[in-house]
């Protein structure tokens, strides 16, 4: 038996996911990485292993909601009970004016941004509650909190997830389990989203175009999950009401 804890990162990309994996791995956690691209995951596991981090890859498409419970069982069978679950969806989610938003597009976005994190929570929470210890953090965009004209799409799905997680936080905070959110108001350095934005011609090298170091975000996630002084945080800090 071991006292080593496991963190599962659902949406383990090259930006935030990679930084969270390093941060928790260096703190002694076993790391389970979940993303669609098996080759990319293998490369990240090799990088982490070279840094002394115990990491395993679990290739999976989080859009496949019905497969999430089995995915969580597989992680726990191979890496032990999940103490910390981070959900940080990877992708370049289309933003558009609210007047152009359709039910079909919102349904597609809600699948990965609302239904998938809800199903992850449902899969990991019973074990956490039974042990009286654990943490769940969802990382999303600033539009979960602040509606932005011309930038609808992910925002309504983010907002629904925020409503759910903050309600959950109040229900379980006295049972040893934390649920919270990190809302990110900038493009993340070295992320899939930033590369996609650059490929689409957005001025990512313009100093007015906000970017943020994913190591800063990883440290904030650690603080949320360990200090538990508040249920949500916004970075960059200029946006944060705390």
CATH number for the domain including 90?
A: 3.40.50.720
pLDDT > 70? residue 197:
no
Please state the rounded mean pLDDT for residues 67-79.
98
The answer as to whether 87 is a domain residue is yes
Q: How confident is the model at residue 148, as a pLDDT?
A: 84
Please state the rounded mean pLDDT for residues 197-208.
50
* CA dihedral (198, 203, 206, 212) positive or negative: negative
> How many structural domains compose the chain?
1
Rg (CA), the chain: 17
**Domain span holding position 187:** 6-239
The answer as to whether 79 is a domain residue is yes
The answer as to whether 10 is a domain residue is yes
The answer as to whether 90 is a domain residue is yes
Q: What pTM, to 2 d.p., does this model score? A: 0.90
The answer as to whether 75 is a domain residue is yes
Distance between CA atoms of residues 182 and 218, nearest Å:
10
1-5: Cβ within 8 A, 24+ apart: 2/80, 4/28, 4/29, 4/30, 4/54, 4/80, 5/29, 5/30, 5/80, 5/83, 5/84
The answer as to whether 33 is a domain residue is yes
Worst-scoring range by mean pLDDT, 39-43, 103-107, 206-210? 206-210
Q: Note whether 213 and 158 are within 8 A (CB).
A: no
Please state the rounded mean pLDDT for residues 119-144.
97
Q: How confident is the model at residue 159, as a pLDDT?
A: 96
The answer as to whether 1 is a domain residue is no
The answer as to whether 215 is a domain residue is yes
């Amino acid at each position: 038996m071991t006292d080593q804890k496991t963190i599962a990162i659902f949406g383990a990309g090259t930006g935030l996911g990679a930084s969270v994996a390093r941060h928790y791995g260096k703190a002694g956690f076993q790391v389970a990485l979940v993303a669609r691209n098996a080759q990319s995951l293998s490369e990240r596991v090799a990088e982490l292993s070279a840094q002394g981090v115990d990491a395993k890859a679990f290739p999976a498409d989080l859009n496949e909601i019905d497969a999430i419970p089995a995915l969580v069982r597989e992680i726990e069978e191979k890496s032990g009970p999940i103490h910390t679950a981070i959900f940080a969806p990877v992708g370049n989610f289309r933003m558009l004016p609210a007047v152009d938003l359709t039910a079909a597009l919102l349904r597609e976005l809600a699948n990965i941004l609302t239904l998938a994190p809800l199903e992850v929570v449902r899969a990991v929470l019973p074990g956490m509650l039974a042990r009286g210890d654990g943490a769940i953090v969802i990382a999303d965009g600033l539009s979960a909190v602040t509606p932005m004209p011309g930038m609808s799409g992910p925002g309504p799905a983010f907002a629904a997830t925020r409503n759910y997680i903050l309600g959950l936080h109040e229900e379980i905070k006295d049972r040893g389990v934390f649920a919270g959110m990190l809302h990110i108001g900038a493009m993340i350095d070295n992320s899939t989203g930033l590369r996609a934005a650059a490929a689409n011609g957005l001025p990512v090298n313009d100093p007015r175009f906000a970017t943020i170091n994913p190591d800063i975000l990883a440290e904030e996630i650690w603080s949320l999950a360990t200090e538990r002084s508040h249920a949500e945080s916004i970075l960059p800090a200029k946006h944060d009401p705390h």
